[in-house]
């Protein structure tokens, strides 16, 4: 008898292996995308820190985009206009940005809120960088 094809078992095993490899690939890709989004937010916050120092040297105070920041506050357009002279430095696809003064006009905290999540990244005028995945438990240094 001449065997010129694959058996059903061989085809099922091949499809199962392809499915497993695809699942692993999708998980790795999702993690990579999440890390890239977070890196984009931390770069934005570092840019805010540098721009705030320049703003303070010119005006004697730090810029404030909002009196109180929350996950629903996204002042990216105002920050781009007032701190970055209208350049689109802050990308708003994934994170929303907000800057509030803490105790007075010589202290501030800039926040980056992940869209549809409780995750938040912050930076202060003393360059203190913090991260929270749930909005309540904080880690220093992103």
Note the pLDDT tens digit of each residue in 58-74. Answer: 999 999 998 889 888 89
* Residue 62, C-beta contacts closer than 8 angstroms, at least 6 positions apart: 52, 55, 56, 99, 101, 105, 106, 107, 108, 125
* Phi, psi (deg, nearest 5) at residue 40: -65, -40
Q: Which element (helix H / strand E) includes 120? A: strand 120-124
pTM assigned to the model: 0.80
Note the pLDDT tens digit of each residue in 5-45. Answer: 889 999 999 999 999 999 999 988 888 888 899 999 999 99
> Nearest CA to 92 among 41, 136, 16?
41
């Amino acid at each position: 008898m001449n065997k010129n094809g694959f058996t059903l078992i061989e085809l099922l095993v091949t499809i199962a292996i392809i499915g497993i490899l695809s699942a692993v690939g999708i998980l790795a890709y999702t993690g990579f995308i999440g890390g890239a989004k977070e890196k984009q937010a931390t770069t934005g916050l570092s840019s805010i820190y540098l721009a705030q120092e320049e703003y303070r040297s010119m005006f004697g105070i730090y810029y404030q985009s909002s009196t109180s920041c929350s996950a629903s506050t996204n002042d990216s357009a105002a920050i781009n206009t007032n701190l970055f002279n209208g350049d689109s430095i802050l990308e708003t696809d994934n994170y929303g940005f907000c800057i509030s003064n803490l105790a007075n006009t010589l202290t501030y905290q800039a926040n980056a809120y992940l869209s549809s999540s409780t995750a938040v990244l912050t930076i202060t005028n003393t360059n203190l960088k913090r991260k929270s995945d749930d909005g309540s438990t904080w880690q220093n240094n992103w």
